[in-house]
Structure 1
Amino acid sequence: MHITLIKRIGSGSYGVVYEGIWITNARKCVKVAVKCLEKGNNEDSETNIFREIRNLQELNHENIVTFHDAYRQKNICLIFEYSDCGSLYDYLQKKIVRVSNIEKLHWMLQWANGMEYLHSKKTIHRDLKPQNLLLFNNYRTLKICDFGTVKQYATENTELIGTIGYMAPEVCTADGKYTEKCDVFSYGITFWEVFAENKPFDELKKKNMHPLAIQNKIINGARPDINDMQICKDSDLIKTIIEKCWDRNPECRPTMKGLIAFLAIDLRLYTPINFEDIDITEYFMNGRYGLCCKAYWRSGFSDKKVDVIFFQPDKPMEMDFLKEVYKLKELIHQNIVTLYGVSRQFENSIFLLFECSTVSIHNLFHDQKCTNTDSYFKIEWIYQCLHGLDYLHNNNIVHGVLTTENLLLFDDCRNVKIFVIGKVDHIYLNAIANKEESVYVAPEVYDAPVYEGHSEEREFTKESDIYSFGIIMWEIVTAKNPVVEFKNKQPSTIMKIINDTIQTGSSDIRKIRNAIEDCLKSAEYRPDTKEWLKC
């Protein structure tokens, strides 16, 4: 085995870690981290080292640092994958890059996934702290390493391993024993450190308090100030979880599996996309959303064409904004526009990547003046839109801003998908009554009183979506613009225009005209999507 040690990058009671170059059997040069162990004093020490190597060979998880191989020079040396971004400790000390709170939460989820995997292998870490958490892939990936000693539950050895401040209080007692709940305690302390951006118990260390005195305080219940964590305005639940992690009673602490389930509430399906993987081909202004882009996203082994919308939410609202985005990612239906993920260029600049459409129905009819579309396609669009709307309503999602601008065409205009932006479109929801698009808004929403000092949000409902769908059906069938035809008209006048402009022909067209009439009735008399799908 050919290894060239380049420079020393760390050390501990176990020995020294070097950056090295490993020339593999396939003659490839790979940068690696080489852990050179101090020579054991007896055969038992060397036996323990070989047991650790066997344990490391069995570990295979995306959030565990990969063990490549081992060799003997003067001492036994272990070869691990090399961290291109250093440790979490390095990040916390230097902060040479900007990492958002949501990305930090993603680190915590990755860490919990790695620890749950270790615990499933009956393995405890014993020395979790920022120095033993490495960052990869331009600070997007966190992996657990151990340059101490990973022990299995079966061991009878209970010698103290760990760092004061991160060590669970129960292991410091006379009959203390390491369990997986000790790792949970260390997880909670480090979680606090990441968001407080301060070392735990640093104020005691600055007073030159002896480590054993600090340890005694921890045993007696001393913990970092939970309010030093800077997450978001709705972070009380996260703080409560952290306090449970460092509870004095190990039985009250959550499992790693429980922590994963909790973090997944906010991070479910969240896929942070590196802005460097996006090649923007065209910027343009959209009257509703501001700055938008056409782009190619380098995804996997191919480039994917995407539509990109740019947002700059207020910092206090960022977490709420992203929670709404995660909900959008859960929408998977053939008639709903797919949200691929989220990217961040700067700390307060967020890009949402959607599948790229050909054109909206609104643009096709009113900008491109394509008014002679085959009636077969028009009826198909209506039924596809109905299926998409039914999917939303079945998931208790009210669209609120349903217009033909939000009906996008794909596959040479054969398929229609509803563009859903939800509460992310908060500003538009507030202002729609003052826009031309108000012709799509149900009268009970448009005419709702707004009281001074209260939110200007109007209550959009499933019934108001049905009203909007009725206007859309008329627009698709006639290719006429409701903003022009219906503006400032009373509902009775609108219905007369609809009857005058829809020429009865096929049975499908007659059904659609009757359906439009049902949509424009008072809210309590409007049918729901399920009734129509039965027809």
Structure 2
Amino acid sequence: MISEGPYSVVYEGSYKFKPVAIKVIQPDKTSAVSPERKQKFEREVAMLSRVTHDNIVKFIGAFLEPTMMIVTELMRGGTLQKYLWSIRPNSPHLKISITLALGISQAMEYLHANSILHRDLKPSNLLLTEDKKKIKLADFGLAREETMAEMTTEAGTYRWMAPELFSVDPLKLGVKKRYNRKVDVYSFSMVLWELLTNSTPFKGRNNVMVAYAAAMNLRPSMDNIPKDIAPLLESCWAEDPADRPEFVQITDFLVTFLRNICSTQTKPPKLFEIVFKSKSAADSPSADHLMNKSQEKDKKSRSPSRCFLSCFDDCFSYGFRDTSEV
């Protein structure tokens, strides 16, 4: 057994003589699973089977009888959450944090280009390779097609959930609201903040308090956040979803930021100044240009050039340091 949750257990197993991860839906007999859980399982299988990206866990197959199971590639590095816990009170080196954030952004950019919302982006749903150099998105149980129609609210986990997904007023079970892909951008901002600080967002507050704080536009502390990254965070967790950037813009910013780190430049990337200073990134001419570029590159499952990755790998060195050094 690798991990256990309220609705499933994940095991390491073998398929065609290769190690795999096997997610078994609880209870362990399909006939005893509720209709809602069956629907969620079917949606997760449907979503996983249609996505192929280097930063998304590879789907291998699924079983319905006698037990509902999903088989994926095995990520021996465990979850991002466990990795961060294992190195506390230290934080990952800035290069490591930004590299992992870039992998997450690329996965989300791919999903959004295919009109898929993940809706549960958080460290426990992000898996690492054994060498901790690559990160992959997993758990598509709450993922769904983006639509202009109303969708179920309070989908996700409160600490990483966008404020438009809940209300300070009590909501009836199953109530629906209109929201869009920008809920994932907000969740990404919380994960990025964790990568930079190795702290838990809204630590010490229960779910109700977290929801209220986010709805009141309260955000985690910006202390110890590198000054060149701070405006990106603030843009991604903006109260108005229209003010949050698209993942194509986040990806381009992170690539440029990493290049600057590798070349020992400290000046903020010019791309950042263009994209994130406007009230709404989508309204700026450069944002339109980036979106057009995104549409072209999405057809080719865009990623940073091999040249850049090779250059970055040369200067990439692992090590941890306290957040006070960042």
**TM more than 0.5:** yes
More strand by share: 1
1:159, CA displacement in angstroms?
Answer: 4.2
Correspondence 1:212 to 2:208 = yes
The match for 2:235 among 244, 251, 276 is 244
Q: Residues 69 and 238 from structure 1, CA distance in 2 versus in 1: closer, same or farther, beyond 3 angstroms?
A: same
The match for 1:151 among 139, 144, 156 is 144
Correspondence 1:190 to 2:186 = no
2:230 maps to amino acid: K
Q: Residues 188 and 47 from structure 1, CA distance in 2 versus in 1: closer, same or farther, beyond 3 angstroms?
A: closer
Contact 1:9 1:19 (8 Å CA) reproduced = no
Partner in structure 2 of residue 82 of structure 1: 74
1:115, CA displacement in angstroms?
Answer: 0.2
Partner in structure 1 of residue 256 of structure 2: 265
Partner in structure 1 of residue 273 of structure 2: none
Instruction: In structure 1, list runs of 5 or more residues that go unmatched.
Output: 1-6, 230-234, 271-318, 333-337, 349-535
Matches within 5 A, 1:380-459: none
Contact 2:105 2:250 (8 Å CA) reproduced = yes
Matches within 5 A, 1:139-178: 139-146=132-139, 148-154=141-147, 157-173=151-167, 176-178=177-179
Q: Give the TM-score, by structure 1 length.
A: 0.46
RCO comparison, higher one (Cα < 8 Å, 6+) = 2
2:164 maps to amino acid: E
Partner in structure 2 of residue 481 of structure 1: none
Instruction: In structure 2, list runs of 5 or more residues that go unmatched.
Output: 270-304, 321-326
Q: Residues 222 and 77 from structure 1, CA distance in 2 versus in 1: closer, same or farther, beyond 3 angstroms?
A: same
CA root-mean-square deviation:
2.9
> What is the count of residue pairs matched by the alignment?
266
Distance (whole Å) between structure 2 residues aligned to residue 158 and residue 249 of structure 1: 19
Correspondence 1:57 to 2:49 = yes
Matches within 5 A, 1:367-382: none
The match for 1:138 among 131, 134, 138 is 131
Contact 1:98 1:347 (8 Å CA) reproduced = no
Contact 1:158 1:178 (8 Å CA) reproduced = no
Contact 2:12 2:22 (8 Å CA) reproduced = yes
1:225, CA displacement in angstroms?
Answer: 0.5
Q: Residues 165 and 70 from structure 1, CA distance in 2 versus in 1: closer, same or farther, beyond 3 angstroms?
A: same
Distance (whole Å) between structure 2 residues aligned to residue 138 and residue 118 of structure 1: 25
Distance (whole Å) between structure 2 residues aligned to residue 246 and residue 113 of structure 1: 18
Stretch moving more, 70-79 or 90-99? 90-99
1:339, CA displacement in angstroms?
Answer: 6.3
Partner in structure 2 of residue 19 of structure 1: 12
Correspondence 1:342 to 2:314 = yes
Partner in structure 2 of residue 33 of structure 1: 21
Larger radius of gyration: 1
Contact 2:162 2:187 (8 Å CA) reproduced = yes
Contact 1:15 1:35 (8 Å CA) reproduced = yes
1:212 maps to amino acid: V
Correspondence 1:119 to 2:107 = no
1:185, CA displacement in angstroms?
Answer: 0.4
Distance (whole Å) between structure 2 residues aligned to residue 103 and residue 141 of structure 1: 10
Partner in structure 1 of residue 278 of structure 2: none
User: What are the Cα deviations for residues 506-530 of structure 1, in whole angstroms up to 9, with x where unaligned?
Assistant: xxxxxxxxxxxxxxxxxxxxxxxxx
Stretch moving more, 176-185 or 136-145? 176-185
1:163, CA displacement in angstroms?
Answer: 1.3
The match for 1:254 among 245, 264, 268 is 245
User: What are the Cα deviations for residues 137-178 of structure 1, in whole angstroms up to 9, with x where unaligned?
Assistant: 511101111163221124754042211221000110356444
SS at match of 2:70: strand
Contact 1:188 1:242 (8 Å CA) reproduced = yes
Q: Residues 32 and 127 from structure 1, CA distance in 2 versus in 1: closer, same or farther, beyond 3 angstroms?
A: same
User: What are the Cα deviations for residues 176-235 of structure 1, in whole angstroms up to 9, with x where unaligned?
Assistant: 444211000010011111111110111x43xxxx42132112100111001233xxxxx3
Q: Give the TM-score, by structure 2 length.
A: 0.73
